[in-house]
């Protein structure tokens, strides 16, 4: 069920302790020369749309703006910052918790959102709820190693071709120059380098890592709608099964020991059978 389609009278029946809220979040940022700026929110939004009929699930409109300061050298990128993003997500959750909701799933499409989403999830927990965070792009290769992807490369571009093929322009492709820090410090992603047998975080402006904005083991020229359709179906099916399990968790009654900020830390939530 989509919250934005309801009147407040209809929402009165739908918003409560039996509801699980799904919030898609992403960003407006560059995705290489091929992918649209909205890639990171459009993909979670589409997954959420496919899940909207699941019983007991309340789907919110996608939050399109996120945390992406390293991409600002590319035109069109919008960064609202860590604190602003966290505050928006927390206040969305608290607004619904006021009317009884206690379970949340944050469906994320952008790596820069991961840290503030963790903080938001903790805030939900400290107020008597429970939040799960799903980063779809990192979940995908866990389900199928062939679904591994980087940023603005084959994986994301393929999914966008399955959703909005007219928004992907493969004629704009140009090869990225990957700028290495040294012979022995080679980029493994936008903010990491390999040294010997290990990987170290070294954060730079994205444009100083890759001239096109894209980075990954997956070649964006090989992106295709069939691959994107396969990934969408697999990830959506997994999340649907996860939601069913998440909905079975039994939360303690409001006001019970362990349901407040300083409650019992030993097993606050239990499965429903």
Mode of pairing for the β-strands spanning 249-250 and 270-271: antiparallel
pLDDT at 174 (0 to 100)? 94
pLDDT band for position 109 (50/70/90)? very high
Place 273 in a pLDDT band, splitting at 50, 70 and 90. very low
Q: Mean pLDDT lowest for which of 96-100, 207-211, 224-228, 254-258?
A: 254-258
Q: What is the mean pLDDT of the chain?
A: 93
Residue 265: predicted pLDDT:
44
Residue 38 has pLDDT above 90, yes or no: yes
Query: What is the per-residue pLDDT for 263?
Result: 39
Classify residue 32 as exposed, middle or buried by CB count within 10 Å of its CB (0-12, 13-18, 19+). buried
Domain with CATH 3.40.50.10310 in the chain: 3-175+219-261
pTM of this prediction? Answer: 0.91
pLDDT at 17: 87
pLDDT of 239 > 90? The answer is yes
Angle between helices 225-247 and 154-163 (to 10 degrees): 90
Pairing outcome for strands 249-250 and 198-201: unpaired
Query: What's the CATH number of domain 3-175+219-261, 3.40.50.700, 3.40.50.10310, 3.40.50.2000, 2.70.98.50?
Result: 3.40.50.10310
Instruction: Give me the pLDDT at residue 144, please.
Output: 97
136-154, pLDDT tens digit by residue?
A: 999 999 999 999 999 999 9
Please write the tens of the pLDDT for every residue from 165-183: 999 999 999 999 999 999 9
Kindly indicate the confidence band of residue 223, based on its pLDDT and cuts at 50, 70 and 90: very high
In the prediction, which pLDDT does 268 show?
53
d(CA 72, CA 124) in angstroms, rounded, equals 30
For the chain, percent of residues with pLDDT exceeding 70? 93
């Amino acid at each position: 069920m989509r919250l934005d389609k309801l009147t407040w009278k209809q929402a009165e029946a739908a918003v409560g302790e039996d509801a699980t809220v799904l919030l898609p979040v992403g960003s407006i940022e560059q995705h290489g020369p091929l992918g649209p700026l909205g890639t990171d929110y459009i993909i979670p939004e589409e997954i959420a749309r496919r899940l909207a009929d699941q019983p007991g699930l309340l789907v919110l409109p996608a939050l399109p703006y996120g945390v992406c300061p390293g991409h600002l050298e590319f035109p069109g990128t919008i960064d609202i910052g860590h604190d602003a993003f966290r505050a928006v997500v927390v206040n969305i959750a608290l607004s619904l918790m006021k009317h009884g909701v206690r379970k949340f799933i944050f469906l994320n499409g952008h790596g820069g959102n991961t840290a503030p989403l963790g903080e938001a999830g903790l805030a939900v927990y400290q107020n008597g709820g429970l939040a799960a965070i799903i980063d779809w792009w990192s979940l995908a290769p866990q389900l199928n190693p062939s679904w591994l992807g980087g940023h603005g490369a084959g994986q994301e571009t393929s999914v966008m071709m399955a959703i909005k093929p007219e928004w992907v322009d493969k004629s704009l492709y140009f090869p990225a120059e990957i700028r290495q820090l040294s012979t022995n410090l080679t980029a493994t992603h936008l903010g990491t380098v390999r040294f010997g047998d290990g990987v170290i975080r070294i954060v730079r402006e994205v444009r100083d890592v890759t001239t096109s904005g894209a980075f990954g083991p997956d070649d964006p020229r090989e992106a295709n709608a069939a691959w994107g359709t396969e990934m969408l179906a697999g990830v959506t099916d997994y999340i649907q099964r996860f939601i069913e399990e998440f909905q079975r968790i039994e939360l303690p009654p409001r006001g019970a020991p362990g349901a407040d900020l300083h409650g019992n830390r030993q097993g606050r939530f239990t499965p429903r059978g």
